[in-house]
Structure 1
Amino acid sequence: MAPVLALLIFVGSLWFIATERAHKVKTVLVAAALMAVLGLIPGEQVFYSEHEGIAWNVIFLLFGMMVIVGVIKQTGVFDYLGIWAAKRSRGKPFRLMVLLMLITAIASPVLDNVTIIMLIAPVTIVVCARLRIDPRPYLIAEVLASNIGGAATLIGDPPNIIIGSRAGLTFNDFLIHMAPAVIVIFALFVVSTRVLFRSALRTDEVHLGKVMALQERRAIKDTRLLMRSLAVLGLVIIGFGLHSVLHVEPSIVALVGAGAMLVVTDIDVAEVLPEVDWATLVFFIGLFVMVAGLVHTGIVEAVGTAAVSTFGDNYFSAATSLIFGSAILGAFIDNIPYTATMAPVVEGMAGQAPDAETGRALWWAFALGACFGGNGTAVAASANVVAIGIAHRAGHPITFWHFTKYGIIVTLLSTTLAWGYVWLRYF
């Protein structure tokens, strides 16, 4: 009975979010409360369990980066980058979209997706405001690009960090096995955006002339503050890159960076805290509690166990199920808790493989499905939720279906190509 109740609450919540019958934060809080009252979540473990509770590493990573971005915003550098991007693209919508996607995809393998979106989204909103065009298609394209690009490395996407730790895979392993697929899929994705967003790619020639006349250097309000902020941000990026070597969680790096940013720049805390998107943080907490209900009642594990028993010794079929199954399930369950839950199941499947290469092929199939499944819906990945929150705060709301109608197509395209890659390379 408990699994049925958990599933009903989860599906019902997704329905309210998708149809926007109720605010998403209210929805997840009510759902989380129902999970707790009905005993479907593991009591106090929901606050402390790594696999059956709130992923505080994600919450504090978001909070720390929101503070850092809030300080950087005071320098005017986002206006500078916005004017630069607009002038570089000469206001041509598709060229501008490609430029922003390239910046996002190139940075995503080095920084995690959430950090990239928090840095690039404000720039996108500024440049679109300058050109008097709708920023929503550009924000959606950037999120899709970040979820694809982040799959290339160990630290680019949170699911990869979980998989690398569980399977003993190194940074170089991800570069060798994941990066080739990501490069090809991203290139085809860029080409497809011209069709996907064709109705939104319009130019306002009147405002383009005004933007081309602007001097981007004048947008910088405080050069000294900018230099200090960029120095701290550079150290934070280095910290993210070395976190596995230093054995320090990315969330700790972000929190230390936020504290250092406030101290070094001497910014008034009262000016920065309003920049923190508290609604997004609360939404994530509620979402993690909802997923904990599915995990604790055994629904997710049952799906994985069924997959193991169904495919037996047919490892290509198992890899196929991991790619498409992860993409489908990950589209409705945030891919961080989903990956953490399914990793032990995949470990069991890989352990039964006849050789190490076949076992690793299952891990790569799982990683590709989990990462690309993050594009499936508006709640499938942390970067999606963060981008939607930033857009809402800027007065450009992106609905669940507005995002999802693009995400489903890109997920289908990328996972199909990933399936072909796994077949060609490993089977």
Structure 2
Amino acid sequence: MIFVGTYALIATERVHRVAAAVGGVAAMAAVGLVGTRTAFYSESSGIDWNVIFLLFGMMVIVSVLKQTGLFDALAVWAAHGSGGRPFRLMALLMTVTAGASALLDNVTTVLLMAPVALMVCRRLGLDPGPYLITLAFASNVGGAATLIGDPPNIIIASRADLSFNDFLVHMAPVVIVLHGVLLGLAWVLFRTRLEVDEDLATTADDLRPGDAIRHPAMLRRSLVVLVLVMVGFSLHSVLHVQPSLVALLGAWVMVLVSGASPEQFLEEVEWATLAFFMALFVLVGALVEVGVIGDIGEAAVQATGDRTLVAATALLFGSAVLGALVDNIPYTTAMSPVVQDLVASMPAGEGEPLWWAFALGADLGGNTTAVAAGANVVIIGIAARNGTPVSFWQFTRYGIVVTAATLVVGWVYVWVRYFVLA
């Protein structure tokens, strides 16, 4: 009941989302559902500190890069590349975001791309809301393509012993199709809100990306560090180093080489977003502790039995629905042992499609609501901080449409590839 009440406050926005989430945690602590052990130290039901410090490190990196003028330059480049046409700009930003999310991770990508979208929208006099929302959608879809692109994939790969190449072979093909579908949906959903200020567009045409760079030497040093951070992300599984440590080390080195002051390198840290994430992890962890999520998973196992297609369908759509109500990271953590047991109960080789259905459901379900994925929470936090708030329902009413359409495409892919052509 506490979780439902807290979620209702977040959804209706009667109380600020951070206050609602922290209040929910306080209520759960008061009745004994959570304690310091479960909240701060439990790997299965507590705060995921790797996620928190990954976010913090990348926010510091973004703060330093902002001081150089990089995002202003990228905004001018995007304005020129789109020819001032609003939907072409949206498609360009979405495609870059989707590709970057596959190579990095979706939270890091939106931290880097959201400032660019805001800058170019201001230069062209565009409403930034649709552009920020579609960035989140593109990051969640693009991140599904690789092992490192979306946090649920990392969790699934660890549990199922799947490699980076496994994800490329099984997930990348459908993600390419889904990105095309997403571009079409973006046109249908937002075309009436894509109006450009011609006077501002003309002004932007007179600018050159290089003119926006304020500290070239600082930018060169910072970009070297950024490249090293990206390499660290891509090799973290080989080096056995958590992405959060890579981000923190990168942030530390970038602060050193840039000479940024604390006021500068902490400027873009979204403290409210970090607090919301921590509270959300504890809220969902309480559901794990009392067995709610586990009971749902067990019920799904009993309902599907050894019928692989039925189980894959239930995992695909069920993961999207349940992951929409809670962040997909703790949801995937709680459900992956259940899926492992379900796969083990099937004849050898027949259970593998369940992992891909599970991954697609968790990743695509991240687009459903404003709290379903880390990228969404970060986008909403950045939007609010920059005076262009995106409400829970504004995001969710588009997210439901996007998720429904992409899930249907994902199900067709699973059915054709693993059952028709098998």
Counterpart among 323, 333, 352 of residue 345 in structure 2: 352
Report the counterpart of residue 369 of structure 1 in structure 2: 361
**Which residue in the other structure is 1:117 paired with?**
110
Paired with 1:359 and 1:236, the residues of 2 have a C-alpha distance of 36
Correspondent of 1:231 among 211, 217, 224: 224
1:146 aligns with 2:108: no
Output the TM-score relative to the length of structure 1.
0.97
Describe how 1:120-131 pairs up with structure 2 within 5 A. Answer: 120-131=113-124
Is 1:404 the counterpart of 2:393? The answer is no
- Which structure 2 residues correspond to residues 85-104 of structure 1 after superposition, within 5 A? 85-104=78-97
- Measured after TM superposition, the shift of residue 386 of structure 1 is 0.2
Does structure 2 retain, via aligned residues, the 8 Å contact 1:377–1:400? Answer: yes
Moved more, 129-138 or 184-193: 184-193
Q: 2:281 aligns with which of 281, 288, 291?
A: 288
Of residues 291-300 and 191-200 in structure 1, the stretch that sits farther from structure 2 once superposed is 191-200
Q: Shift of residue 225 of structure 1?
A: 0.3
Query: What SS does structure 1 have at the residue aligned with 2:68?
Result: coil
Question: Residue 71 of structure 2 contacts residue 115 of structure 2 at CA under 8 Å; is this kept in 1?
Answer: yes
Q: Partner of 2:33 in structure 1?
A: 40
Asked whether the equivalents of residues 104 and 120 of structure 1 are also in contact (C-alpha less than 8 Å), the reply is: yes
Match of 1:419 in 2: 411
| TM-score of the two chains, using structure 2 as the length reference | 0.98
Say what the alpha-carbon RMSD is for the aligned residues.
0.8
8 A contact 1:109–1:150 mirrored in 2: yes
Q: Is the 8 A contact 2:297 2:335 kept in 1?
A: yes
Question: How far apart in 2 are the matches of 1:204 and 1:15?
Answer: 38
- Matched to 1:353, the amino acid is M
Q: Distance in 1 between matches of 2:31 and 2:227?
A: 47
Identity %: 57
Q: Partners of 2:338 and 2:40 in 1: how far apart?
A: 23
SS of the equivalent of 1:353 reads coil
Match of 1:81 among 64, 68, 74: 74
> Using a 3 Å threshold, how does the CA distance of structure 1 residues 294 and 369 change in structure 2: closer, same or farther?
same
User: 1:249 maps to what in 2?
Assistant: 242
Q: Report the Cα offset of residue 43 of structure 1.
A: 4.3
Are positions 1:13 and 2:16 aligned together?
Answer: no
Structure-2 separation of matches of 1:195 and 1:312: 40
Shift of residue 42 of structure 1?
5.2
Q: Residues 338-380 of structure 1, C-alpha deviation per residue, up to 9 Å, x if partnerless?
A: 0000000000000011122x21110000000000000010000
Kindly indicate whether residue 376 of structure 2 is the aligned counterpart of residue 384 of structure 1: yes
2:156 equivalent to 1:163: yes
Taking the aligned partners of 2:304 and 2:384, their CA distance within structure 1 comes to 44
Question: Within 1, Cα distance between the matches of 2:345 and 2:400?
Answer: 33
- Deviation per CA, 1:227-270: give whole Å up to 9, x if none: 01100000000000000000000000000001111111111123
| 1:343 to 2:340 alignment | no
Question: Is the Cα–Cα contact under 8 Å of residues 135 and 396 in structure 1 kept in the other structure?
Answer: yes
Residue 405 of structure 2 aligns to a residue in which SS? helix
Q: Is the 8 A contact 1:42 1:296 kept in 2?
A: no
CA contact (8 A) 2:127 2:194 kept: no
The separation in 1 between residues aligned to 2:36 and 2:378, in whole angstroms, is 28
Gaps of 5+ in 2: none
Q: Give the one of 93, 99, 103 matched to 1:106.
A: 99
Partner Cα distance (2:151, 2:411) in 1? 21
Give the partner amino acid of 1:395: G
Are 1:28 and 2:21 an aligned pair?
yes
Q: Is the 8 A contact 2:67 2:264 kept in 1?
A: no
Amino acid at match of 2:277: F
What per-residue deviation string (whole Å, max 9, x for no partner) do you get for residues 88-147 of structure 1? 111101100000001001111111000000000000000000011111100101110110
Amino acid at match of 2:397: K
2:306 is matched with which residue?
313
SS of the counterpart of 2:103? coil
CA distance in 1, matches of 2:267, 2:90: 29
| Secondary structure, aligned partner of 1:324 | helix
Alignment deviations for residues 377-425 of structure 1 (CA, whole Å, 9 cap, x no partner): 0000000000110111110000000100111001001111111111111
Answer whether contact 1:42 1:52 (CA < 8 A) is retained: no
Give distance in 2, aligned partners of 1:109 and 1:271: 29
Residue equivalent to 1:3:
none
Q: Secondary structure in 2 aligned to 1:406?
A: helix
Distance 1:192 1:404 in 2: 14
Instruction: Provide runs of 4+ in structure 1 moved above 3 Å.
Output: none
Give SS of 1:52's match: coil
